[in-house]
Amino acid sequence: MNGELKPGHDLVRIPAGEFVRGSDEFDLEAPERVEYLPAFEIDCYPVTVEQYAHFCAATGAPTPPDFPDANRRAVEPELRRHPVERVSWFEASAYAAWAGLRLPTEAEWERAARGQQGRRWPWGDTFDESRAVVWDNAKALGVTTVTIDRFPGGASVEGVHHLAGNVEEWVSDALRPYDGSSHRSPSADGTCRVLRGGSWFYTNEYARGSFRRGALPDFTGYDGAGGPGFRCARDVDEQAP
């Protein structure tokens, strides 16, 4: 990490304990099992366009493709609270370090999204279009990404928002099969980094809390189809109140 925590990060504490991780629905998610995680904190919301603009202005980092008014690094008011997208894993990691944080591990992200009981989506086991923006409803709504205060009913049990849909999110881990999985593919050899949560461009199945896919760390998405965003996390002292 690099320096003090930058403003604008509303962190949610996730307590230490066991949680259900993985799923037997697909071999890359299998096997379902119970794991223990120490306490950690994770951003309540994905990093926004406005936050990322501050980072670019402070560090001279390039703005992502499709960034609003990129030449002047100004942000259109209606887009300030949308999640930033089309960010590479390297850029997401650089932002997190600049902000005094880090990318969440894959296990931390899944624990935040699924609670201890292993919910399929952050709110429960049945998909609800009123709680997230995914391909199923994005076209009808006439949107791509949405502001981070939209769909408050989609929050996780601890109150973490937009862990399903909106933008898919980088985590720190390389993509490999879990221990005990039968999955074998060239894309899961550790070269790719893990993306979680689905997005406005993917159907609700991609927004399940156990769904995992990978992309090369320099991947930034596609024209007209969006691309990765991210949120940050940090370790906590388990003895702290």
Q: Cβ contacts of residue 178 below 8 Å, gap of 6+?
A: 22, 29, 30, 31
Q: Using one digit for the tens of pLDDT, what is the confidence trace for 55-78? A: 999 999 999 988 876 444 456 677
Q: Using one digit for the tens of pLDDT, what is the confidence trace for 166-207? A: 999 999 999 999 999 999 998 899 999 999 999 999 999 999
Residue 4 in any domain: the answer is no
Residue 67 in any domain: the answer is yes
- CA 16, 105, 9, 82: dihedral to nearest 10 degrees? -130
Q: What pLDDT does residue 2 have?
A: 46
Residue 52 in any domain: the answer is yes
Backbone conformation region of residue 159, classed left if phi is above 0, alpha if psi is from -120 to 50, else beta: left
Q: What pLDDT does residue 71 have?
A: 46
- If one compares 29 and 223, the residue with the highest pLDDT of the two is 29
Q: State the residue for tokens 């904190």.
A: 41
Give residue 35's domain range. Answer: 11-234
Q: What pLDDT does residue 172 have?
A: 98
Q: What pLDDT does residue 1 have?
A: 43
Domain count, the chain: 1
Q: Using one digit for the tens of pLDDT, what is the confidence trace for 82-125? A: 999 999 999 999 999 999 999 999 999 999 999 999 999 999 99
pLDDT bucket at 241, cuts 50 / 70 / 90: very low
- CA 29, 138, 156, 168: dihedral to nearest 10 degrees? 50
Residue 31 in any domain: the answer is yes
Residue 230 in any domain: the answer is yes
Residue 1 in any domain: the answer is no
Mean pLDDT of 5-12: 87
CATH number for the domain spanning 130: value is 3.90.1580.10
Residue 2 in any domain: the answer is no
Residue 101 in any domain: the answer is yes
Q: What pLDDT does residue 139 have?
A: 75
